[in-house]
Amino acid sequence: MKTLITILATLLCPILCVAQSNYREGYVIQNNGDTVKGYINVKEWDTNPQSISFKKSVADKGETKYTPLTVKSFTAGDYSYLAYIGHVSNNKNVFPDLDTYRDTTTRVDTVFLHELISGSKVSLYDKFQDNKRSFFYKEGNQLPVELIYYNYYEDGSTIRTLPVYISQVFELQKKYSGGDVRLTDFDRLNYRKDDLLKVFEKINGDGKRVHKSTGGHQFFAGLGGVVSQNRFVGDNQFITAGTVNSFSPRIHAGVDIFNNVVTKKLVLRTEVSFYYNKPTFAGADPIYTGAKNRQFYQFEQYNASITPQVVFSFYSTAAARIFASAGIGLNFSFYKNNRFYGDNNTTSYLNVPYKLERYWANFPLQLGAVIAKRYEVAFTYIPRAAYTNYVLFGVTSRVLGVNLRYHL
């Protein structure tokens, strides 16, 4: 297993060193209205991009940079962005980084707005830059208009709000939906993506939601196999037994949480797993100890683990994603047949077996790949950890494994 991990790491190193791009199939609409299909380098885009890299073919060595000045819009994977050159508000609105007064000034900005809804009547966009969240709406072929929200400190401590966006949304609702619409119907409309999505979907009726969020979650389940390399460390007669291997199947399931559904560059994973460990240690040869016979120590460990971990994708395309992960394994173990015995299963002169801890921790590392967004193969290495609490010696295990997971 160690050889396999070493070989895999050696093969992947060149890829991991150069794999800084994530080109996905998409297109740009140029200022003259022409649509150019190709591949766009999709990034995390926690803030709105100021430019994008475009290739007509993934194999092309060169790339074209597009900005809001040179294209009208672009689409890649689950992302759609609209070029915007116009006024944006200067006020801060994300607590606690607020202004100390109501800042009504604006500036001209050049940015790609993230499309949330492409509606037949009104479309909705968002923008996050400089720790400020803003939303825009666009009617037909008109220019986008910002939904205004003031949130500021008054007298140094009191927070005041002025939700101008409520009256803006109210006018849109009256214009396109008609009926008995009252301003008080929007009293609980917060300046949040989910709230605004619901209203704009209602206004459009047939409005198409591009995506509610760039993030999400995905459940998985799988099977694997592990070898536990058990060993005594410190001052103990069973040191001479060396490493004792124990093989076991491993079942596991969990959930991945990510902030970018396309690249999944950074994933928070929580996994629950179960495997067993059944080593038998042989003590020193009685010829050298003067004992009547060789002493043996064995136990059966059944181990359930909860492992929160961070998964980082070094390489990501539409076909495959290569990742490494690190986490902490929180183990709950129960034991059977914890005992000493002599040669030919005779009674041992050692009476009380060692106390093995029910709760202990280790630190798993993984290197793996996800194919076609569903099928994952990963190699696991868990450094040696003790599941005893003695001062002079310890019983430890190091774990190597192969895991197959299916992402639902």
Instruction: Examine the pLDDT at 269 and tell me if it is beyond 60.
Output: yes
Question: Does 83 map to a domain?
Answer: no
Write down which residue in 162, 186, 211 finishes a domain: 211
Instruction: Examine the pLDDT at 15 and tell me if it is beyond 60.
Output: no
Instruction: Give the pLDDT band of residue 120 (cuts 50, 70, 90).
Output: confident
Question: How far apart, in whole angstroms, are the C-alpha atoms of residue 166 and residue 172?
Answer: 10
Question: Does 4 map to a domain?
Answer: no
Question: Does 7 map to a domain?
Answer: no
Residue 10, pLDDT score: 47
Q: Are residues 36 and 145 in the same domain?
A: no
Mean pLDDT calculated for residue range 99-128: 89
Q: What is the pLDDT of residues 52-72, one digit of tens each?
A: 999 988 888 888 999 999 999
**Contact indicator for 244, 231 with CB cutoff of 8 Å:** yes
Residue 229, pLDDT score: 96
Write down which residue in 193, 211, 229 finishes a domain: 211
**Contact indicator for 116, 80 with CB cutoff of 8 Å:** no
Q: Are residues 223 and 207 in the same domain?
A: no
Percent of the chain with pLDDT over 90: 49
Question: How far apart, in whole angstroms, are the C-alpha atoms of residue 156 and residue 51?
Answer: 38
Residue 3, pLDDT score: 47
Question: How far apart, in whole angstroms, are the C-alpha atoms of residue 207 and residue 123?
Answer: 8
Q: Are residues 49 and 167 in the same domain?
A: no
Q: Most confidently modeled of 49-53, 134-138, 202-206, 351-355?
A: 134-138
More confident residue, 350 or 375: 375
Instruction: Examine the pLDDT at 249 and tell me if it is beyond 50.
Output: yes
Residue 74, pLDDT score: 93
**Residue 200 burial class via C-beta count within 10 angstroms: exposed 0-12, middle 13-18, buried 19 and up:** buried
Token pair listed for 268: 């928070």
Write down which residue in 211, 239, 257 finishes a domain: 211
CATH of the domain at 302: 2.40.160.20
Token pair listed for 282: 């042989």
Instruction: Examine the pLDDT at 82 and tell me if it is beyond 50.
Output: yes
User: Average pLDDT over the chain, rounded to whole?
Assistant: 85
Question: How far apart, in whole angstroms, are the C-alpha atoms of residue 52 and residue 38?
Answer: 12
Question: How far apart, in whole angstroms, are the C-alpha atoms of residue 358 and residue 334?
Answer: 6
- The C-alpha angle 43, 253, 77, rounded to 5 degrees, equals 25
Residue 206, pLDDT score: 66
Instruction: Examine the pLDDT at 351 and tell me if it is beyond 60.
Output: yes
Q: What is the pLDDT of residues 290-335, one digit of tens each?
A: 567 788 999 999 999 999 999 998 887 777 889 999 999 999 999 9
Note the Cα 96 to chain centre separation in Å: 26
Residue 294, pLDDT score: 82
Question: Does 174 map to a domain?
Answer: yes
Instruction: Give the pLDDT band of residue 288 (cuts 50, 70, 90).
Output: low
β-pairing, 93-94 vs 97-98, is antiparallel
How many Cβ atoms are within 10 Å of 61's Cβ, its own excluded?
A: 6
Question: Does 141 map to a domain?
Answer: yes
Question: Does 112 map to a domain?
Answer: yes
Q: Are residues 178 and 265 in the same domain?
A: no
Instruction: Examine the pLDDT at 211 and tell me if it is beyond 70.
Output: no
Mean pLDDT calculated for residue range 244-265: 89
Tokens 């016979």, located at residue = 293
- pTM score above 0.95: no
Q: Are residues 279 and 403 in the same domain?
A: yes
Q: Are residues 126 and 229 in the same domain?
A: no
Q: Are residues 387 and 338 in the same domain?
A: yes
Instruction: Give the pLDDT band of residue 347 (cuts 50, 70, 90).
Output: confident
Residue 185, pLDDT score: 67
Number of residues that make up the chain: 408
The secondary structure of 279-320 as a DSSP string is -EEE---HHHH--SS-EEEEEEEEEEEEEEEEEEEEEE-SSE
Question: Does 25 map to a domain?
Answer: yes
Instruction: Examine the pLDDT at 7 and tell me if it is beyond 50.
Output: no
In 3-state terms the chain splits into helix, strand, coil percentages (rounded to 5) of: 15, 55, 30
Least confident window among 18-32, 136-150, 224-238: 18-32
Secondary structure element (H or E) that encloses residue 10, with its range:
helix 2-18
Q: How many CA atoms lie within 13 A of 160 on its CB side?
A: 13
Instruction: Examine the pLDDT at 408 and tell me if it is beyond 60.
Output: yes
More confident residue, 141 or 261: 141
Q: Are residues 58 and 146 in the same domain?
A: no
Residue 287, pLDDT score: 59
More confident residue, 12 or 200: 200
Residue 19, pLDDT score: 46
Mean pLDDT calculated for residue range 380-400: 94
CATH of the domain at 73: 2.30.30
Q: Are residues 398 and 358 in the same domain?
A: yes
Could you give the 3-state DSSP secondary structure of residue 238?
A: helix
Q: Are residues 296 and 154 in the same domain?
A: no
Token pair listed for 45: 């885009």
Q: 364: cis peptide before it, omega within 30°?
A: no
Q: How many CA atoms lie within 13 A of 250 on its CB side?
A: 26
How many angstroms separate the Cα of 257 from the Cα of each of 132, 197, 217, 253, 311? 24, 22, 4, 14, 10
What are the strands, taking DSSP E only, across 119-235? 122-129, 132-139, 145-147, 150-154, 158-162, 208-209, 216-234
Could you give the 3-state DSSP secondary structure of residue 190?
A: coil
Residue 18, pLDDT score: 42
Mean pLDDT calculated for residue range 134-140: 92
Closest CA to 394 of 404, 405, 384: 384
Q: Are residues 268 and 188 in the same domain?
A: no
Domain with 38 in it: 19-77
Question: Does 184 map to a domain?
Answer: yes
Residue 263, pLDDT score: 74
Residue 214, pLDDT score: 66
Note the Cα 263 to chain centre separation in Å: 10
Q: Are residues 102 and 202 in the same domain?
A: yes
Q: Most confidently modeled of 168-172, 233-237, 359-363?
A: 359-363
Q: How many domains, in total, are found in the chain?
A: 3
Q: Which residues pair with 307 in a beta bridge?
A: 271
Token pair listed for 373: 């967004």
